[in-house]
Structure 1
Amino acid sequence: MGDLVLRKDEDGLTTLTLNRPDKLNALNVALFAELDAHVQAIAGQTERVGVVIVRGAGRCFSAGHDLTDIAAGEKLPRPHFQSDIIERLADLPQVVISAVHGHCYTGALELALAGDLIVASSSAKFGDTHARFALTPVWGLSQRLPRRVGTYKAREMMFTCQTYSGEQAASFGLANVCFPEGSFESDLEAYARAILANSWFSHRANKRLLRETDGLPMKVGLAHEVFRGEGRGPDMEARIEASFRKK
């Protein structure tokens, strides 16, 4: 594995760090290839990884798709290379948190939207600037953004190319929460650890239910939950017993 995406594992929490700080973590083909290798490995490690954090090194999450690569006629290993990798990240069985500080523009926003949760720092700056460069999204933004913020807020973001702060992003649902820059690291850690403390079985099963019923009519979705949900996890009895002991 190279050094464009760094992996750190600690007690069930895996952190993937985009590591091109001198380029503001601009997303190029080589970085995506390393991200793909990590994601494919993590997908098979459900017993040792419960939560995945995706973040950027240095001053920001990512300034977006590397425009130098685009201008040079980016050579992809296969069609739809980046969008397939973002889809695999979104479909990980584990909970995925996109931790955003500093810039998160356009292609980087498409990557961040693959997270189940977006945690923003007060320093975060979100924006979709495709229209500024006569581009359209091909990594999922047109589908994931309106599902997260609503169709008309998504239109505003896409049409105006406006930049939004971490606090603004949290106010309209793009980010789940915004933490102060000064305590971002500790707050992010506590947030992830609180999720890890709950049942990993439930997280995986609930994520699958949400994914498989997205867009279904209510009655069809309810039937799916009843007849195809996974029900009780292997640690249910132990967790209930522990709860009684605490009381």
Structure 2
Amino acid sequence: MSDWETIRLEFDSDDVATLTVDRPDRLNALNVDTLEAIEDALEEAEREGARALVLTGAGDDAFVAGADIGYMRELSTPEAQAYAELGHRVADKIERFPAPVIAAINGYAFGGGCELALAADLRVASEDAVVGQTEIDLGIVPGWGGSQRLPRLVGDEIARRLIFFGERIDAQDAHEHGLVGEVVASDQLDDHVADLAADLAAKPAYALRTAKELLNQAHETGQEAGLRYERRAWSGLFGTHDQREGMAAFLDDREPDWE
């Protein structure tokens, strides 16, 4: 495993990887080094064959409180473009990671932190979490995908309100808006997310990867193109070990032995 100063990447016996942003003294804010480390860690988790990935923040206060405002303050337009491209690469790698990604939102998730959570497949918040696209009060707008991913989750009107006003909303409101999938007690978050990740890791990995690609495709193409993609992906699973094993196990009334 690589040695990073601001993140941790850990694996458990179920092939679940946990990527923790570890800057609790800065509320896990994302500077360039941390973003680059997350990018490296995602690549390493993929190489190691993670069957599910949990993304979270260290400490009790923040998931990721946002980008590094001190760094951004004096950026030129070309420098800001490079920073935006780095943030987009990281968010895209989360969205396209070949296994489900769960954002365990254990505290503040503002700006860039909210955007990383939006790129995950599932979002689980502790009851103490507070989330928001707060960039407007810094004189900027979401720059790592929030303007595109947020409306897909919560609808156009809610997304406009959250981005225009820079609102910080609590976990229950985030759940009501569809920004997070569920809210759990703070002291139960880690165990609950670990159970979810273990359940996902126990599924057939190739089929799950294909399902994720199909769901992502629904946001990237029209329905006709998406349906063509689905037909090819569905038929392409036939002849794989997991398809043969899954159907045999069903007919034999036993648990499948996935690859």
TM-score, normalization by structure 2: 0.87
Number of equivalent positions:
244
Q: Which deviates the most, 109-118 or 85-94?
A: 85-94
Q: Determine helix, strand or coil for the equivalent of 1:123.
A: coil
Q: Which deviates the most, 63-72 or 141-150?
A: 63-72
Partner Cα separation in structure 1 for residue 44 and residue 69 of structure 2? 29
Q: 2:101 aligns with which of 96, 104, 128?
A: 96
Answer yes or no: is the 8 Å Cα contact 1:29–1:76 preserved in 2: no
Partner Cα separation in structure 2 for residue 98 and residue 184 of structure 1? 11
Counterpart of 1:114? 119
Q: Which deviates the most, 184-193 or 142-151?
A: 184-193
Answer yes or no: is the 8 Å Cα contact 2:131–2:168 preserved in 1: yes
Partner Cα separation in structure 2 for residue 180 and residue 131 of structure 1? 30
Answer yes or no: is the 8 Å Cα contact 1:131–1:158 preserved in 2: yes
Aligned letter for 1:245?
Answer: R
Counterpart of 2:25? 22
Q: Determine helix, strand or coil for the equivalent of 1:86.
A: helix
- Structure 1 residues 81 and 218, CA gap change in structure 2 (3 angstroms): closer
Q: Which deviates the most, 114-123 or 75-84?
A: 75-84
Counterpart of 1:235? 242
Greater helix share, 1 or 2?
2
Aligned letter for 1:35?
Answer: I
Q: Determine helix, strand or coil for the equivalent of 1:49.
A: coil
Alpha-carbon deviation of 1:84? 1.6
Q: Which deviates the most, 132-141 or 73-82?
A: 73-82
Partner Cα separation in structure 1 for residue 243 and residue 67 of structure 2? 44
Counterpart of 2:70? 68
1:83 aligns with 2:100: no
1:179 aligns with 2:192: no
Counterpart of 2:226? 221
Partner Cα separation in structure 2 for residue 174 and residue 33 of structure 1? 26
Q: Determine helix, strand or coil for the equivalent of 1:14.
A: strand
Alpha-carbon deviation of 1:78? 4.6
Deviations for 1:118-141, whole angstroms, at most 9, x for unmatched residues? Answer: 111111101111111110122100
Q: Determine helix, strand or coil for the equivalent of 2:104.
A: strand
Partner Cα separation in structure 2 for residue 195 and residue 55 of structure 1? 17
1:7 aligns with 2:16: no
| Percent of matched pairs sharing the same residue | 28
Partner Cα separation in structure 1 for residue 80 and residue 176 of structure 2? 37
Partner Cα separation in structure 2 for residue 219 and residue 72 of structure 1? 46
Q: Determine helix, strand or coil for the equivalent of 2:241.
A: coil
RMSD: 2.0
Alpha-carbon deviation of 1:216? 3.0
Alpha-carbon deviation of 1:213? 3.8
Q: Which deviates the most, 230-239 or 152-161?
A: 230-239
Deviations for 1:10-56, whole angstroms, at most 9, x for unmatched residues? Answer: 121000000000010011001011111111222334xx311011100
Answer yes or no: is the 8 Å Cα contact 1:51–1:95 preserved in 2: yes
Q: Determine helix, strand or coil for the equivalent of 2:28.
A: coil
Unpaired runs of 5+ residues, structure 2, are none
Partner Cα separation in structure 1 for residue 242 and residue 206 of structure 2? 8
Partner Cα separation in structure 2 for residue 51 and residue 242 of structure 1? 23
Q: Determine helix, strand or coil for the equivalent of 1:98.
A: strand
